[in-house]
Amino acid sequence: MATNRKRTPRSRRESALTPDQLNLLHDRPLSARVWLRFMTKDEKKALWDAHKREVLEEWARTSPCTRPSLWWLYDAPKELVPGCDGTEFFALQAFRRRIGGIGTPRYECLNVVPRFFLGIPSPWIGAMETKAYSDRFAGQPIDPADPPIFESQADYLQRHGCLTKEEVKHLGQHPNLLVPETVRLGNE
């Protein structure tokens, strides 16, 4: 029997992902339903692996020379973290080169796992920790007059050969994307 329904190609069908899953993949705020925040690392990795090609294609068009946080977590080139002796499980991370500034990431002074967000260490030593542990370590809080400075995402991606041809062209037209990033006190 004939039908008047129009066939929709698979590529144009509604995504089977929930709005919160899409938001997680694209670094957008999650709704009040916080169940995604309790996903295991393996569940997040499986979600990322299943959708990263499409996410990265769109990301490169809308935010060239940068990457979403799940790319930094799972796909960014890993290096030995400065300050780790290489024997720890978490010693390999994706991190951007530090260019200057005053402030100490917590993992360098306290016995905590190195953590990074978009390739920059987080959290940082605060003034209270400096007072509380002054006899045990030489960590310094972020100096507002000379905060830590890191290479830009574009610089990192270029250094590791992770830019697409279109992004290389975009970077040539927008050299401001190579300006180093400053750690802000609110990002501690």
Q: Residue 169 has which token pair?
A: 């062209």
Same domain, 72 and 159: yes
**Are 42 and 105 in the same domain?**
no
What domain range includes position 79? Answer: 66-188
145-178 pLDDT, tens digit each = 999 999 999 999 999 999 999 999 999 999 999 9
Cβ–Cβ under 8 Å, residues 23 and 30: yes
Q: Is residue 1 part of a domain?
A: no
Are residues 24 and 37 both part of a single domain?
yes
Residues 56 and 71 in one domain: no
My answer on whether 23 and 104 are in the same domain is: no
Same domain, 129 and 40: no
> Which two three-digit tokens encode residue 146?
């000379």
Structurally, the chain folds into a number of domains equal to 2
Query: What's the pTM value of the predicted model, to 2 decimals?
Result: 0.80
Question: What span, in angstroms and rounded, lies between the C-alpha atoms of 158 and 65?
Answer: 8
Q: 156 in a domain, yes or no?
A: yes
High-pLDDT (> 70) share of the chain, %:
79
63 or 27: which carries more pLDDT confidence?
63
Residue 10 covered by a domain: no
pLDDT, averaged across the chain: 83
Q: Of 26, 41, 62, which marks where a domain is finished?
A: 62
- Average pLDDT score over residue span 16-34: 80
What are the pLDDT digits (tens) for 100-149?
999 989 888 877 888 899 999 989 988 777 777 666 667 888 898 999 99
Is the alpha carbon torsion for 79, 82, 86, 91 positive or negative? negative
Three-state secondary-structure class, residue 92 = strand
Q: Are residues 119 and 70 in the same domain?
A: yes
Q: How far, CA to CA in Å, does 39 sit from each of 15, 118, 138?
A: 20, 19, 36
Q: Is the pLDDT of residue 88 over 60?
A: no
